[in-house]
Copies of this chain bind each other. A is one copy, B any other.
């Protein structure tokens, strides 16, 4: 039997545990896996592009457990009442090849993206950071805010979105949770005085959500939305002034902000910073950019965290996914066991 966490169960688990605590606890799994980064099989994700979006498969393995995520990205989906990003994922046993765990990942991806951002910001933002600007208050935004509060204690948010309904939704969801929220009059207003800037917009375009003039010394930029070819958020001039940190260089050069830069543009992989093998922030004036695109290992960590978290809870069901005849060479016998007469 394979354990399956459907939408209802992940939501019941989240409500039972609390989102902020989930995000904080998940960082432990993420950081442990980032610190053993070289042990994983790594490859750029396998993308199938179409005029309206992309469907991707993101596999990885640590030699003991294999995991992959199916994820789509369709920026026009909300206009048709659908999610921009939906996902599901699977874990399997490398030794037998059998799948063992299967989960919805629309929600889980939102968790892992926010947890990864906060983990990286804890390593790169100024230790005295207390205000975060958030440009884009869509699906991912509340999770980002909760992860940054849980891990860095950030409680002051300056938010902006081109969609006033999205801002209203953000305020409605987070104001009751004790955040100090300023609704800005525009992106430039939002970033004024911010120590951390999170950009998380959905347009499939080379947009300029942040211009060079908006970025002051000492800021950490958490750039989430530039995550597929032809989809960026930052003015290239920012990248020239900043130190840029990535998950997996080969994939980020295809999908991240640095797709705008020369292939030799220097970047640092974040696992090296977490291991102490490369410098992170070295001065209070330095501008740091996390050029986040999302990598398979993060989904692997998130799935393993969820697998452990729902163990011995009612938040999963068993499903019969793998045909398992008594004689492994007699699949035919299993298939036809219920047939009175085979014609």
Q: Which residues of A contact B (CB under 8 A)?
A: 4, 6-8, 10-12, 14-16, 18-21, 41, 43, 46, 48, 50, 52-55, 57, 59, 61, 63, 66, 68, 70, 72-74, 77-78, 80-84, 86, 88, 90, 92, 94-99, 104, 106-107, 110, 137-139, 141-143, 163, 165-166, 169, 173, 177, 319-325, 327-339, 342-343
Contact = CB atoms under 8 A, between A and B. Distances in A.
Main secondary structure of the interface of A (DSSP, over half): mixed
Contacts of A15: 335-339
Given A96-B74, A99-B70, A336-B14, A323 B61 contact: no
Contact of A11 (B72, B78, B322, B338): B338
Contacts of A8: 320
Nearest to A80: B96
A107 B331 contact: yes
A328 B104 contact: no
A58 B4 CA distance: 22
Given A342-B177, A343-B21, A332 B143 contact: yes
A61 B57 contact: no
Contacts of A59: 46, 48, 55, 57
Nearest to A177: B342
A51 B46 CA distance: 24
A170 to B, nearest CB: 9
Given A20-B343, A328-B139, A173 B11 contact: no
B83 A324 contact: yes
Given A99-B88, A335-B11, A322 B83 contact: yes
Given A6-B321, A55-B66, A322-B106, A77 B97 contact: yes
B84 A327 contact: no
Contacts of A99: 70, 86, 88
Contacts of A66: 48, 55
Copies in the complex: 2
A249 B63 CA distance: 30
Determine which residue in A66, A90, A323, A343 has the highest number of CB atoms from chain B within 10 A of its CB, and name it.
Answer: A323
B329 A139 contact: yes
Contact of A98 (B10, B72, B321): B72
B57 A333 contact: no
Nearest to A86: B322
A61 B68 contact: no
A269 to B, nearest CB: 21
A323 B169 contact: no
Contacts of A74: 95-97
A320 B78 CA distance: 19
A143 B343 CA distance: 13
A96 B54 CA distance: 9
A104 B321 contact: yes
B50 A106 contact: no
Contacts of A86: 97-99, 322-323
Q: Which of A84, A321, A333 has the most CB of B within 10 A?
A: A321
A330 B165 CA distance: 10
Contacts of A138: 329
Contact of A61 (B50, B139, B165, B342): B50
